[in-house]
Each structure stands twice: as structure tokens, then as C-alpha cells.
Amino acid sequence: MTTTEHLAGQWREWRHAHVSTMFRPYGWTALVAQYWLEETDRDVTFDLLPGTWSIAEGRIIHTPPATGPGLSVNGVHPDGPVEIVPGRNQTYGHGASVPVYYGTLEVETLLRTTQDGQNLYGVRVRDPREATRAEDAGVTAFDYDPAWRLPGVFTPSGRVEHDAETVEPGVREATPRIGTFRFELNGTSHELILIGKDTATGVQPVAHVRDRTSGPVTYGAGRVVELHFTDETCQTIDWIDFNYAVALPCAFTNFVTCPLVPPENHLDIEILAGEKRPAQTVARTKTYQPRAQA
């Protein structure tokens, strides 16, 4: 049986690392733009970036300007069209993408879909000079409470692809489902759908939940909790610890496509654990406008 002191100590270290990662120079709060391309787009220009952008056979192609500064792609200034590969940028450490900069700005691309299933391609820009500071965002959390570390049972389903609606109207994001996790609280059983987040070290099980604190006490669009496999075959999860519940990046920036909470994960309980609602709010505006049909 793990002691409360040990659990709380591990949580404090994790909490410090999580906040540091969120508010790092090229973290989520440094995002300053999110542009969109569709399959037929050619030679599109973006306000903050040089050159032009196109989609060619499902690839995002950047063409440098004829004169003046251009992008640095994996340490080189390309002298002709170059593919900017989607994926988690080097800040988050996985995927096939490479470091891309325009001066101080960092650039990354991403794949999404529209409401009707058409491919959609995003280009994001981060500016470390604009990154929010944790103290300005007003990020706080409940003290660690071992009562919110709850045993349960994972039922794997295999990977089931699912495109979820997001906080960006008209844009859907792949949120593959890997099974369910059932736990009991005060004699009542609850079941959550788990998402399988791809990371540099493998699949990370994640529960995205809303509860009765969502809005008045915690972030209104719900919070996420990372769970952990306890066997080498990734078929067993023994605990969910709501002390590790955190707000999604959309709590801190407009330029993201955070998925909406699955209806099955709306809990009719108060989870008084984990991260509280940030003091600073984000005014959400649309970044995606569907192209007019000819």
C-alpha cells in the first residue's frame, strides 16, 4: 500500500513539471495564429509567415519568398518548395515533424477534418514573446487528496478511430478510443470512455471528463486525466487519480482544436480535485472559415 506522503510528493513534482511545460516559451500559451488550408488551396499567403502555402496530394507545401528572410526547416533555409510535415513539433517530442522557425516564431502543421469528413490542414504559429506566464493565467489546484485516487477496471476495446467535434466550429479532431474505465464513488458506479493519445513512448490512456464543478470551479470545457497501464501488454489500468485532472490548452489560448467531452463522460458528481479554473479567460473566436463552394 503506497503511503499518502509518497503519493502527495509525486503529485507535487508532477504538478510543477506540468505547469512549466504548459507555460514554456514555445508551449501552448505561446500560440498566436492558426491558419487553415483545404485540398484545393494553392499559393495561399498568411499574415505572419513568408512565402506561400499549398496542398499537393495531401502534403502541406511551403514555397519560400523570392527575396528576403524565409523559414528555417530542420536547420536549413530551403531554396525551393518544401514539405512541412504534420505532427507534434519538437516542443512535445514525437511524430515525424521537424523544427521549423521563422525568426523567433515557431511553425507547425496539423491534420484535421471538416464536419463532412474532408481533410483539413492547419498551420500554427508560436511566439515565445507572447507566451502567457503561469502567474498571469492564475493557475491553481486543489491540495492533493488521496480520496480521489480511485481503483477501477479497464475494459480494452482495441483502437477505435473517432473524430470528435472541437472548440473550433466546423473542425473535427481524431480522438481514437481504446476502451472504458469503470470506478465506484460513494457506492455508485461510473464508466468513462478512454482516449489513446500517441506519445513518444507509446499510447497514453486519457479520460476527458466534465462534472458538476465544470464552469463554476473548474474549466468549463472539462478536464483531462492521464491514466497508466500497469502491465506490459497495456491491457490493465488499476487506478484513476483525479488529483491529476488538468484543463485543456483551450483554457489558455484560442488557437487550438481541443475536442469536446464525450457525452458518456459527463459525470453527475463534483470532482473537487485537480486543477481549478484559470483566473484568466480566453475570448474564443473562429479561425476556420469554410471556402465558398463554386
State pLDDT tens for residues 233-254.
999 999 999 999 999 999 999 9
Question: Which pLDDT value is given to residue 67?
Answer: 94
pLDDT at 293: 57
Query: β-strand 72-73 against 82-83: which pairing, if any?
Result: unpaired
Q: What is the per-residue burial (b if ≥16 Cβ within 10 Å, else e) of 43-58?
A: eeebeebbbbbbbeee
- List pLDDT tens digits, range 14-52: 999 999 999 999 999 999 999 999 999 999 999 999 999
Q: C-alpha cell of 155?
A: 475494459
Q: Is residue 8 part of a domain?
A: yes
- Do 200 and 229 belong to one domain? yes
191 & 239 share domain: yes
The answer to the question of residue 281 being in a domain is: no
Those residues with Cβ within 8 angstroms of residue 21's Cβ, 6 or more apart along the chain or in another chain: 27
What is the model's pLDDT at position 87?
82
Report the domain count for the chain: 2
Residues 78-100 have a mean pLDDT of: 83
Average pLDDT, the chain: 94
Same domain, 146 and 259: yes
* pLDDT exceeds cutoff 60 at 280: yes
| 264-279 residue pLDDT tens | 999 999 999 999 999 9
Q: Are residues 19 and 141 located together in one domain of the fold?
A: yes
The reported pLDDT for the residue numbered 294 is: 46
Q: Do 152 and 123 share a structural domain?
A: no
Residue 212 · residue 269 · CB < 8 Å? yes
- The model's pTM is 0.94
Q: Which of 225, 180, 190 is nearest to 11 (CA)?
A: 225
| 25's grid cell | 516559451
> What pLDDT is recorded for position 58?
96
Domain that holds residue 67: 29-130
Whether 283 is covered by a domain: the verdict is no
